[in-house]
Amino acid sequence: GENVEQHPSTLSVQEGDSAVIKCTYSDSASNYFPWYKQELGKGPQLIIDIRSNVGEKKDQRIAVTLNKTAKHFSLHITETQPEDSAVYFCAASMGSGTYKYIFGTGTRLKVLA
């Protein structure tokens, strides 16, 4: 069945360092890949997304890369700050042209001051 694998499950970095979270999806028809940040007691907040016709997208300290051939996509956060500490989820659309997501299992990022 459709599946999204996410690694690592936890990640600790020193403030100012970079963090990378990786996901792999199984459905070759998936064409939309959002990333969400979820803080304790809150709903997921969209931080960046990428579509299958683009290989990379950047927004200030956050970037996402997509390798369609390998079915891999990654989140890169540079110059991490304590407020980046949260759980991050990747997701993939369920097939082309659908608006339902399969989520990864999440990465708990801790930025140490």
Partner 1 sequence: ETGVTQSPTHLIKTRGQQVTLRCSSQSGHNTVSWYQQALGQGPQFIFQYYREEENGRGNFPPRFSGLQFPNYSSELNVNALELDDSALYLCASSAGGTDTQYFGPGTRLTVL
Q: Which residues of this chain interact with partner 1, rule CB under 8 A?
A: 4, 6, 32, 34, 36, 41-46, 49, 89, 91, 93-94, 98-106
Q: Which is nearer to partner 1, 28 or 98 (CB)?
A: 98
Q: Residue type for 105, please?
A: T
Q: Which is nearer to partner 1, 63 or 92 (CB)?
A: 92
Taking 3-state DSSP, the helix, strand and coil percentages for the chain, each rounded to the nearest 5, stand at: 5, 55, 40
Q: Which is nearer to partner 1, 18 or 58 (CB)?
A: 58
For the CB of residue 61, give the shortest distance to partner 1 in the complex, in Å: 21
Token couple for 61: 């300290």
